[in-house]
Amino acid sequence: MKKFISVLILLALGTALIACSSSGIQVPDGMQIASSGDVAYNLFVPGGWILTESNGICGAYYSTSDESSITVSSLYPDGEMLSISDYWSTLEASYTETFKNFSIVEAPEADASNVILGDKASFKYVFTADIDGESYKFMQILSVHNNMFYTMTYTSTAENYDSHLEDVEKTITEFKFK
């Protein structure tokens, strides 16, 4: 019986090792992967966050009582959006029209990157807005990889925003383009 259990354990370990080596993804300590193999990046989020994926947008949220979230989406630029600056201008116009009390808190200086996402010089914007009478704070990081725009968004109520910044910073640091 002991020999049978030992063989089962060895088979299980062997299967786990093969699975890890075939994926080639090293998940950082205390984190989990939130992206599928179908996207051009690896998004790692804190282990306790709840994973979500919908229509090619990968991410996670903190809990059912605090829905602070981190998501990554991608967009193939059209002829009118040729740069991150153009992309942000389009987003800003949409946010101004959609949200009440939209206000930019932090933005990069003209076309100067202010953060690294993956291995790419990227652009971080922090802004606030009201949605259904509640104040929210957002951080968006815009990047370009293989001619695609990528947007990492951290969304939280203004009240909870600072409480997750350490997790968000680790997520930004561990993000990898494939």
List pLDDT tens digits, range 110-168. 878 999 999 999 999 999 999 999 999 999 999 999 999 999 999 999 999 999 999 99
Domains and CATH numbers, the chain: 29-177 (3.40.1000.10)
List pLDDT tens digits, range 56-90. 799 999 999 999 999 999 999 887 777 899 899 99
Instruction: Tell whether pTM > 0.75.
Output: yes
User: 6 pLDDT exceeds 80?
Assistant: no
CA distance 111 to 119: 18
Helix (H) / strand (E) element for 112: namely none
pLDDT score for 23: 59
